[in-house]
Amino acid sequence: MLEGQIIIHVDMDAFYASVEMRDNKTLIDKPLIIGSMPNERGVVSTCNYEARKYGIRSGMNIKEAFNRCPKGVFMHPNFDKYIRVSNQLHEILESYTDRAEYIALDEGYLDLTGKVNSWEEARKIGHEIKKRVREELSLTCSVGLAYSKIAAKTASEEKKPDGYFEIPSREDFVTLVLDRNVKSLYTVGEKTAQKLHLYGVDTVRDLQNKSNEVKMFMGKQGEYLVDLAFGFDDRKVTPYREEDTKSISKEFTFQKDVSSFKLLDDVLFILSFRVAKRAKRLGLYGEGVSLKITYSNMKTITRSMLISASTSDAYTIYENASKLLKNVSKGEVRLVGTGLYHLREEEGRQLSFADIFSTQKDMLKEKIQSKWQEMSMYYKIDFDEIKDMQNSIKVYDYIERMREVMDSMQKYNS
């Protein structure tokens, strides 16, 4: 049996655009830009490789993209379609291991440690994944096989699109990245790179040479970055579990058990603002939303779902938590909670509708206002005092008032 980790990183090539080209052959070989339309306020979500030749990239203002490529094909994203294809991809990947960690709809790590007896076996699986993705999904992916997560991610980027690359050892990794920009270390975003630049660190070699200074000024983060520069990365592939995956969550325990799922839904709306407030304060976005329910018999269940694009938006958290709530068993409930998981910083995250379209942001604001008004009318409570979510105790006092109102209505109607 091999020693050390054996990790595969799978990354779909220009995922959204590739799905659209697969489903509409007339788009092939044309610059395809997924996002808002040129006459709308918004940005690019993603684009195909043909469009990238014009310098178009994710997050670019849509009008700049149009100026660069006025003959390009502009389309709105179809997130429901992309989620369906992502689920099909996950079925393929999970046929090789039970340790899969998805960091986006189109990207994930597979831990083959203990699943294979040789590097050649792992290589065979890597090529087989590419073959199955092509045959079963009519799409292409890039695959990296390596000894660690950062090396596997680096390997999958090395020969894009439709590439395959291996980094068998720490020495191979260091040789490959030594004279590259420090941002080639895939945990280093723009802000961290700017901070390192202040210390005269532009390349991975600089990071090695100035390791003591970086550790001194950046503390534990600096120690971690220096380890990566020398190829040390012992992070594990971690399938999502509510109890052991980093997340931001808020929950509420009722003074009396509740049976009204209307009330639970409304409480999730309020808790979503608490989650969003913390996420924004930390500068983090979640790739998935979770729901937690504890029934009166103390049975606790958790449900979770990956979402179309990372978010720190309260209403998006609420909408997805509400969907999860609709699919759990009815009963007397003592605790309800929601949260974000698979957290990441701004750099490299998938864009949401609200990121792409200015009008979508306005629609979300209207939905939020409408929901507050509906709750105010239903419970006969003015929620203005807690909308900023500054005082958690006051927020929870309001939730108890809502429960008491619901109790009174249920007694009256019984």
User: Which pLDDT tens digit goes with each residue over 252-285?
Assistant: 888 888 999 999 999 999 999 999 998 888 788 8
- How sure is the predictor about 1, in pLDDT bands with cuts at 50, 70 and 90? very low
| Catalytic center residues | 107
CB-CB neighbours of 371 under 10 Å = 17
353 token code pair: 């509708």
User: Is residue 241 situated within a structural domain?
Assistant: no
pLDDT(180) > 60: yes
Q: What is the DSSP letter of 322?
A: H
Over residues 216-253, the pLDDT tens digits come to 988 888 999 999 999 999 989 988 554 344 788 999 88
- How sure is the predictor about 135, in pLDDT bands with cuts at 50, 70 and 90? very high
Are both 252 and 367 inside the same structural domain?
yes
pTM for the predicted model, two decimal places: 0.64
Are both 329 and 304 inside the same structural domain?
yes
Question: How many structural domains does the chain have?
Answer: 4
Q: Tell me if residue 198 falls in helix, strand or coil.
A: helix
User: Is residue 340 situated within a structural domain?
Assistant: yes
Q: How high is the pLDDT of residue 42?
A: 76
User: Is residue 287 situated within a structural domain?
Assistant: yes
Are both 288 and 344 inside the same structural domain?
yes
Tell me the C-alpha distance between 275 and 340, whole Å. Answer: 7
User: Among 9, 16, 8, 5, which Cα is nearest to 350's?
Assistant: 16
Last residue in a domain, options 149, 174, 199:
174
Last residue in a domain, options 109, 140, 174:
174
Pairing type for strands 141-146 and 7-12 reads: antiparallel
User: Is residue 302 situated within a structural domain?
Assistant: yes
User: Is residue 236 situated within a structural domain?
Assistant: no
Last residue in a domain, options 36, 58, 78:
78
Over residues 287-343, the pLDDT tens digits come to 899 999 999 888 899 999 988 778 889 999 999 999 999 999 999 999 999 999 888
Are both 352 and 372 inside the same structural domain?
yes
CATH number of the domain within which 19 lies: 3.40.1170.60
CATH number of the domain within which 399 lies: 3.30.1490.100
Residue span of the structural domain in which 306 resides: 247-413
Are both 29 and 107 inside the same structural domain?
no
User: Is residue 234 situated within a structural domain?
Assistant: no
Q: How many CA atoms lie within 13 A of 324 on its CB side?
A: 25
Mean pLDDT in residue range 103-125: 93
Are both 36 and 145 inside the same structural domain?
no
**Which stretch of DSSP H or E encloses residue 374?**
helix 358-379
The alpha helices in 46-184, defined as continuous H runs, are 49-52, 62-68, 79-93, 119-137, 149-158, 170-177
User: Among 283, 280, 292, which Cα is nearest to 241's?
Assistant: 292
Are both 266 and 374 inside the same structural domain?
yes
User: Is residue 242 situated within a structural domain?
Assistant: no
User: Is residue 257 situated within a structural domain?
Assistant: yes
